[in-house]
Chains A and B, each alone.
Chain A
Amino acid sequence: MSRLRRAAAADSGNAMLDFTYLAILLMVPLIYVLTTVFQVQRAAFGVTEAARQAGRAYATADSDAEGRARAELAAQLAMQDQRLSLAGPPALDPSDGVAPGSTVRVEVLHRVPLPLIGGLFGDAVPPNIPVRASSVAVVDRFKQ
């Protein structure tokens, strides 16, 4: 066997090793980042729609209590489109209840849990990413 051939034979399998190391070093974090980004994106789409729909639902209700119930239902429905659910009702800040001509400000907050490592690092790394959205709705001025 010539020297050249022997040298070539010694290289066999190195590509596999290279790839395995790189896969662990690069691909695993990369896929983790990808997963997290898409989870956050999904939540961001959910909360923007939830905030908007909750505002409209509250502004068209007949009483504050009814409005709050409707707003929560609307927000949950909007989140369900993204296969998510809100932990609590949306934060409503009405200027004067559902009185004609008043405005209501809605803020929706959803915490996206970090994939796989929820709570692994205790309090050092918060196990979630907060995603929030807000909207403003106006109550009809001439309603009864």
Chain B
Amino acid sequence: MRRDDGTVLVLTLGLAGLLLVVVAIVVDVSAVVLAKRGVASAADGAAVSAAQALDEQVLYDQGLGAAVPLSAADAAARVAAYEADARAGQPGLELAVRVEGATAVVTAVRTVRPPFRVFGQGDVTLTAVARARAPVIAP
């Protein structure tokens, strides 16, 4: 006759261990997803801010007829200020802005470390890109 004492013990312990690993994976994934949403939100907010960086000199020179471009320096300063504000909630957030005519393109990058790092999962780098434009319309 085959000995099977203790089998239930092993099975139950195995099941409990498996469930704990699954919980850890769920927590890790949701932490990364939440961080990703935060990065996307910061990119959006920074793009909206950068889209206000109207090049006033061009506006005064040419008037409202053609599209008024953004000032790259002003946009960069606005994004830097936004980055400083947003870092209070998202440490390590990096924002970069590129001006394409009247459109501001903001790239947000943040590296996060999942809390449990199941199976040796390393740090995750999250990237989000947002574009915004604020056209000037004659009243």
Residues of A within 8 A of B (CB): 4, 8, 11, 14-15, 18-19, 22-23, 26-27, 30, 33-34, 37, 41, 44-45, 48-49, 52, 55, 101, 103, 105, 107, 133-138, 140-142
A136 to B52, Cβ gap below 8 A?
A: no
On chain A, the residues within 8 Å of B1 by CB distance are: 4, 8
Cross-interface CB contact of A138 among B19, B34, B52, cutoff 8 Å: B52
Residue of chain B at shortest CB distance from A100: B52
Which residues on A sit within 8 Å (CB–CB) of B12?
18-19, 22-23, 26
Q: Does B23 contact A (CB under 8 A)?
A: yes
Encode contact with A along B26-62: 1 for CB under 8 Å, 0 otherwise.
1100100010011001100100110010100000000
Q: Taking beta carbons and an 8 Å cutoff, which residues of B are in contact with A?
A: 1, 5, 7-9, 12-13, 16, 19-20, 23, 26-27, 30, 34, 37-38, 41-42, 45, 48-49, 52, 54, 78, 81-82, 85-86, 88-89, 134, 136
- Knowing A19-B8, A30-B16, A55-B45, say if A103 contacts B34 (CB, 8 Å): no
**Contact between A138 and B82, CB atoms less than 8 A apart:** yes
Q: Given A19-B8, A48-B38, A135-B45, check contact A140 B23 (CB 8 Å).
A: no
* Chain B positions within 8 Å of A15 at CB level: 7-8
Contact of B89 among A18, A30, A133 (CB under 8 A): A133
> Are B16 and A138 closer than 8 Å at their CB atoms?
no
When C-beta atoms are compared, the residue in chain A nearest to B52 turns out to be: A141
CB pair A136–B86 under 8 Å, yes or no, is yes
Most central of B5, B30, B78, B88 by chain A CB within 10 Å: B30
A contact residues around B16 at 8 Å (CB): 22, 26-27, 30
A11 to chain B, nearest CB (A): 6
Query: Which B-chain residue is minimally distant from A29 (CB atoms)?
Result: B16
Chain A nearest CB from B44 CB (Å) reads 8
**Nearest chain B residue, comparing its CB with the CB of A26:** B16
Q: Are B37 and A37 in contact (CB under 8 A)?
A: no
Residues from chain A with a CB closer than 8 A to the CB of B27 are 37, 41
The 5 closest A-B pairs by CB, nearest first: A134-B89, A141-B52, A138-B49, A22-B12, A136-B85
Chain B hits for A48, CB < 8 A = 34, 37-38, 41
- Which residues of chain A come closer than 8 Å to B38, judged between CB atoms? 48, 133
A52 to B90: give the CA distance in the assembly, Å. 13
Residues of A close to B42: CB separation below 8 A: 135-136
In whole angstroms, how far apart are the Cα atoms of A14 and B38 in the complex? Answer: 52
